[in-house]
Structure 1
Amino acid sequence: MSTPEKAENTVGPVVRSEDEWRRELTPEEYHVLRQAGTERPYTGEYWDTHTAGVYQCRACGAELFTSKEKFDSHCGWPSFWAPLAEGTVRYIHDRTLGMERIEVRCSACDSHLGHVFEGEGYGTPTDQRYCINSVSLRLVPAESTEDGQAAVS
């Protein structure tokens, strides 16, 4: 199993009061990012996006995932087989809703991103599926080259 590289370009720690978060985020963003909510499947901005680029935390701008690790899991949320680098996300055991899951949070600002699942048989290099809410992310498209093709760094 390959492990992500160590993060070089990290943000944080980002500390804000709940009032500051409420002012900076939309109600839906606040619900998901700060209250560990979940958007409805197949409704988010990025669940079926194939644009090359980097996915940042919508709350703080930390780089979390890239399009290189994104894959079609057909679950209704963006899915990645690994984070961008080691240390960009942190993990919490989540026993809510009568399930045993691993919650994924932004390491920089502690915002809820989604959950990671293992052993589902997707055939990805890590056998993991980072099931992430679109509203937790902001896609920064890769710069285009002169011939119009996307260039991913």
Structure 2
Amino acid sequence: MKKLLLIAVSIALFSCNGTAQEKEQESFEVTKSEAEWKKELSENEFAVLRQAATEPPFSSELNNFKKPGTFVCAACGNELYRTENKFMSGTGWPSFDRAIEGGVAYGSDTKLGYQRDEVHCARCGGHLGHVFNDGPKETTGKRHCINGIAMDFIPKKQ
């Protein structure tokens, strides 16, 4: 009987989802309920920013965008990337070799069966995309592959 009880307690203790616990520990300056986010974001913005969906490649008008300015989080307006750090990766999504310092937070996901470095808005936790090590070697070597729908653009003031 003691063995059975020990096995049951062990299963209960070690079957907890580690990533769920990590999510509970995250805290962001901007926090809203799912209903509040749904009210403020379009259906597609909500899918990407709050449910970690991916927009279709080559669907974002920001993919070929080159005007000087700042890309901000579509959910909370936090500054994420500058045009000067944007490059054409040919992947179908806006790509940057670096983020604005403090603008993004990093995590990981295994949705495709392997671990990827995920990028979130550091202010509201919205899913932005992923970071890969195949960016420009002459700069950082990183490629921040970002969903265009997760960002808005603010032009640089003349």
Contact residue 86 and residue 94 of structure 2 kept, 8 A? yes
| Alignment of structure 1 residues 2-151 onto 2, 5 Å | 13-85=29-101, 87-118=102-133, 120=134, 122-144=136-158
Could you say what the CA RMSD is over the residues aligned between the two structures, in angstroms? 1.2
The structure-2 alpha-carbon separation of the partners of 1:16 and 1:143, relative to structure 1 and needing over 3 Å to count, comes to: same
Q: TM-score, normalised by structure 1?
A: 0.82
Distance 1:70 1:21 in 2: 28
Aligned residues: 131
**SS of structure 1 residue aligned to 2:57:** coil
Greater fraction helix = 2
What is the identity, as a one-letter code, of the residue corresponding to 2:103? T
Q: CA deviation at 1:124?
A: 4.1
**1:60-97 C-alpha deviation (Å, 9 max, x unpaired):** 00001000110111110000000011x21111111112
Unaligned runs of 5+ in 1: 1-11, 145-153
Kindly name which structure, 1 or 2, has the bigger radius of gyration based on alpha carbons: 2
What is the identity, as a one-letter code, of the residue corresponding to 2:34? E
Contact residue 81 and residue 124 of structure 1 kept, 8 A? no
Distance 2:122 2:105 in 1: 5
Moved over 3 A (4+): none
Higher relative contact order (CA 8 A, sep 6+): 1
